[in-house]
Structure 1
């Protein structure tokens, strides 16, 4: 492997670097001495009252001692003519390492969220607000372009009262059914995901394959899965689950006899009927819960 060739400063450049480093060392020593004097003054007063200032000054002194140690090492390298030239990237790494860890996290957070914020501001928000504006208007195409007329809440009133999808489906009815299924599916998906994540968190033979199986519906075509389950393979399942359906009917009768209400029983039966949908919608939640469980320290 080819070694990187080191570049050293010349005599004149070393003199300038030495003068700059000596100046920095003098400034650090002056600031450290000033902070020590302030700490002594605060300690002579009520130290419980000024504890935050004392801690802040002590932290500053600790950081300046680290910088002083680095400058001292650099000064010894200069005196031995071994001071290496640093690239811009090396200087940036050194500057970034001097920043407190808490500020480093803020900087990395800004760096990683900046592309999302730019995309949000350039692509999503303009289209979003424009869509809201169009929803309060009646748009009619004409030879001269689009004729826009402000109608207020008329579109929303028509949407929730009489709007029909595909000629035979009322929007308000579909919205009600969607909310009803959401109320039933959401807690069941969360409970199912937590149980499966707890089970998959413990290593055993084939646990990675099982994780992949649960995640397949997320990356696979959900429509194709539904067609598979409702056509040839679904007919085989229906033919093989007649005994299960009889068992569900007997279980329902048992629940009614012991006094469980119809509302609770209907929720359970609807969840059983939608088991394939629940499993398909639980893939991402399972991975999120697995990551959350694995982030818990073993000591806890």
Structure 2
């Protein structure tokens, strides 16, 4: 069982548990953040079981102690399921206003944490790059594709990877120090993301790292944008990320126009010719 994640262990043993342990197991399965946050006695009180039940439960999971289990839960909470952000007793949202308020807060917190010079520095680097790479997996894939689509209005060579049937090794082998890599690392992250980061760093390319707020600030990349992604529902909210990408794309296009904007002029010429409004 040691190869399983914390949540996978809980789900695996749940059908085999006695009533008190199952009550505790269902609480931890539905709100794993509780174990990451509380002491053994606090968790026992929350589930309405004894401290001994908590001890038996973590040993059934394959851990030597409660602290070992909590350490796994904490590590998983920084890059894992949205479930880790929910807590027993939280009020469920009953209307659109709860989502609206949370999304507005996400946008404000994301943008307030980013300096104007960071955005402008990245925009200038994008325009000066030999090639711009937008990289994203899972939920990040759509965000990477969106930014790539917008940047095509200002840069001659921008690509979004990986595509179907492609390996990242094929792309990393073509990266150069003159390139800009915009790497998305939002939850859930693929297991190989850190290996990919190190491989890209080895090419000497400039890296802009876009993540959720749970990722510690990375001082080894050129830019690290940490976006607020909390939600009033079971899914992460990416409105803060979209707000960031909107600013990056617009500033890049504005700087391209200031420096001549030949590509923008050509695009508009062909839009008129093809009657694309």
Q: Does the TM-score normalized on the shorter chain lie above 0.5? A: no
Structure 1 or 2: larger strand share?
A: 2
TM-score by length of 2: 0.19
Structure label with greater radius of gyration: 1
TM-score by length of 1: 0.18
